[in-house]
Amino acid sequence: MIALSKIRDLDVFSGAGTERTYLSAASALVRAGSFLYVVADDELHLGVFRATDNSPGQLIRLFDGELPAAALERKKLKPDLEALLKLPAGESFPNGAILALGSGSRRNRRRGALLRLDAQGVVQGLPDPVDLSPILMPLEGALQALNIEGAVVVGDEVRLFQRGNRRHRENAIIRFPLSSFLGALTAEPASTLDALAIDMIDLGEIDGIPLCFTDAAALPNGDMVFTAIAEDTGDAYNDGPCAASAIGLLDSDGLLRRLTRLEAPFKIEGVDARADGDVIRLLLVTDADDPAIPAALFSATMES
């Protein structure tokens, strides 16, 4: 089993249009330079934390408006940002960019936000709103319960990680050409984008509950580290108790190389992975499914 070491709670400076002083439902994590970017599925903001200290994070507003404080109404209206995709440097963003993606599990969850970075990994300028419908809508006919939870770039492909549930056990990696994916973000008029392939991945189950993807990170050799949880829920909308959590490793072809449970069943929803010889060093963020509990940042290691 993998043991976690807690680094900090994800507390943030108050203000920026939110009443909270911490992120609660952390749902994805990427690292750029010395900065950790964390998105929460029940916020309109992106959290920015320094990897080198535990000072409170800053918030970057992604979308206009306010979300209700009441849990049920907030859940209904939230953009459900569940993935962060770190994009390589290109013509449109010379130092790379970060794309926040909605899960696509409801019509109002097909929004995204594109943030350009400078050479140090700092966000530059205002986020660009992105309509993800041209990418996500075609997937609804191929998957029973669309729910995008992770995104990585491997070579010249973007790979989205589809999360299953107890009723619809469709864990999948959805592959797109990187150039076409980037084009679909800015195309006018918008046109739909078809996937290169949808590869189903069976992660097994624990106590009758399937393990399902919650995030992923790509390594330089093309391997993909992923997080998964056994959450007792039968759809992509309602939460359930988390029976177990695991971290796994897929090769660049999507073949499962390793799957190891965590000692404690934290609901891990975001991962950053760095190769260090024969070890992979991990940073992980949690979602406690309780707005009164701050999300936390953990570290861990696993064999490469």
Here the CATH number for the domain that contains residue 127 is 2.115.10.20
For residue 167, give both structure tokens.
């009723």
Q: What is the pTM of this model?
A: 0.95
Give the chain's mean pLDDT. Answer: 92
Instruction: Read off the pLDDT band of 221 (50, 70, 90).
Output: very high
Confidence category of residue 169, pLDDT binned at 50, 70, 90: confident
pLDDT of residue 243: 85
Res. 240 pLDDT band, cuts 50 70 90 = confident
The H or E element containing residue 26 is: strand 26-32
- For residues 283 and 26, give the distance between their C-alpha atoms in angstroms, rounded to a whole number: 13
pLDDT of residue 167: 83
Let me know: does 166 contact 210? Beta carbons within 8 Å: yes
Whether the predicted pLDDT of 237 surpasses 70: no
More confident residue, 19 or 180: 180
Return the pLDDT at 166.
79
Does pLDDT of 177 surpass 90? yes
The pLDDT of residue 238 is above 70: no
- What's the pLDDT score for residue 294? 95
State residue 186's pLDDT score: 80
Pairwise pLDDT comparison (99 vs 234), residue with the higher score = 99
Percent of the chain with pLDDT over 90: 80
Mean pLDDT, range 48-72, rounded to an integer? 93
**What confidence score (pLDDT) does residue 241 get?**
76
| Amino acid 15: pLDDT | 62
Query: Which structural domain range is residue 84 located in?
Result: 5-303
**What domain count does the chain have?**
1
Buried b (16+ CB within 10 A) or exposed e, 152-186: bbbeebbbbbbbbbbebbbbbbbbbebebbbebbe
